Amino acid sequence: MAPATEGGNARLARMRRHPISSTLFGLAILLLVALSWFAWTFAPVRLDVPQIDVGPLPPTTPLASMAISAIPTGTYETPAALAFRGGSWSEKRAFAATGILVRHPKGNLLIDTGFGRNVERQLTLLPSLQQSPHHLGTPIIDRLAKADADAITAIIPTHAHWDHISGVDDFHGLPVMVNDAGQRFIDSHGEGTEVLNSFHGVTYRTYHFDGGSYLGFPSSHDVYSDGSVVIVPAPGHTPDSVVVFVNLPSGKRYAFVGDLVWQMEGLTRPAEKPWMMRFLIGEDRSEIRTAIARIRAATKLYPQITAVPAHDGRAFSSIAIYPASTR
Ligand SMILES: [Zn+2]
């Protein structure tokens, strides 16, 4: 052991003689540790989610003429590695920008609007990091038959981010349904609300979570009082994020989960978004984890419920594309 100790002493003496090189050595070690940690934040780690009791399947009595359609308006490109932990850097995911038309005898609804007519101009309001390559389709306003458009009574955004509300600008005067937290988020003019706040004359219709617990979520709002469209709070991605449950006369049910997860893997593995994306957006990790657990538990216990992340085109596959309809 003596030679090693002598070697160690010699190294120490050298470091005392060359303090700059020892500082650089320390910084290099720190950098290596930081880089290793950063790389690990993209690694496939299964998200640990709590056990949730979602209770009985909520009753619903939708009218027979109720139906839904999906209206794609375009896509934007994101590496899978940025969409969920464990995704590949070489695999590109086309993030869907799709709105849902709910036809209901008491008035039609739009859940999210996808890209509107002015999306190119709206994109210039965003930080350059968020301006991914995109493919623009036809905006909802230009696809809807007049009768369907005239029958829309409100827009329900899953949250206020640009890719969900871009088309609000095309429906002048149509009420946008927001909860109290949503109104506060929009009024704060905080990051993520730039595009919505750039629109003139938006009419907000505030709703309250005045209903009881719903599939594990603590409260709810029944839009038509018939159980067919029920909104629950799911803050985490943004303070105003919601899940919209749509329950059809056929017994088929959908949970439009917005950006709770960006791709199905977020729910199926489950896998959270990479740390960098959560950090940049300012997500509340604990809220997201709990909401993922609730949706997983609900869809496992009640297979008639399909969860639909807003940006995963695969999740919309069982919903007819407009103008056809699913019952
Ligand atoms: Zn989004």
Q: Supply the pLDDT for residue 326.
A: 45
d(CA 20, ligand 1 centre) in Å: 48
Q: How far is the CA of 162 from the centre of ligand 1 (A)?
A: 7
Q: What is the mean pLDDT of residues 101-129?
A: 94
Domain holding 217: CATH number?
A: 3.60.15.10
Mean pLDDT computed over every residue of the chain:
92
Q: Find the 97 Cα to ligand 1 centroid distance in Å.
A: 8
Quote the number of domains for the chain. 2
- Beta carbons of 245 and 229 less than 8 angstroms apart: yes
Selected residue with higher pLDDT from 165 and 43? 165
* pLDDT computed for residue 1 by the predictor: 44
Q: Whole-angstrom Cα distance, residue 323 to residue 225?
A: 26
pLDDT band at 6 (very low <50, low <70, confident <90, very high): low
Are 32 and 73 members of one domain? no
Alpha helices in 176-218 (DSSP H): 180-187, 194-198
How far does residue 144's CA lie from ligand 1's centre (Å)? 22
The pLDDT confidence band at residue 130, using thresholds 50, 70 and 90, is confident
Same domain, 195 and 280: yes
How far apart are alpha carbons 213 and 232 in whole angstroms?
9
Q: State pLDDT tens for residues 77-114.
A: 999 999 999 999 999 999 999 999 999 999 999 999 99
Give the Å distance between the CA of 293 and the centre of ligand 1.
Answer: 20
300 and 236 inside one domain: yes
- How far apart are alpha carbons 87 and 252 in whole angstroms? 30
CA 311 to ligand 1 center in whole angstroms? 7
* Residue 31 CA to ligand 1 centre (angstroms): 33
Query: Is residue 30, in this structure, part of any structural domain at all?
Result: yes
**Does the residue 204 lie in any domain?**
yes
- Clarify whether residues 101 and 29 are in a common domain: no
Q: Flag whether 170 is in a domain.
A: yes
- Residues of the domain holding 117: 67-316
User: Ligand 1 mean position to 322 CA, how many Å?
Assistant: 21
Same domain, residue pair 133 and 203: yes
- Same domain, yes or no, for 33 and 177? no
DSSP summary character for residue 314: G
With contact defined as beta carbons under 8 Å apart, do 111 and 102 qualify?
Answer: yes
| 114 and 196 housed in the same domain | yes
Q: Which pLDDT does position 113 carry in this prediction?
A: 97
**Whether residue 162 is found in the same domain as residue 260:** yes
Predicted TM-score (pTM) above 0.75: yes
Q: What is the whole-number distance in angstroms between the Cα of residue 220 and the centre of ligand 1? A: 22
pLDDT at res. 2: 43
- CA 65 to ligand 1 center in whole angstroms: 30
Q: How many Å lie between the centroid of ligand 1 and the Cα of residue 159?
A: 8
Do 119 and 216 reside in the same domain of the chain? Answer: yes
- Asked if residue 61 is part of any domain, the answer here is no
Q: Judge contact between 311 and 96, C-beta under 8 A.
A: yes
Q: Per-residue pLDDT for 12 more than 50?
A: yes
Domain-located, residue 54: no
Is 60 exceeded by the pLDDT of residue 300? yes
pLDDT digits 0-9 by tens, 25-42: 889 999 999 998 888 888
Q: Convert the pLDDT of each residue in 201-222 to its tens digit.
A: 999 999 999 999 999 999 999 9
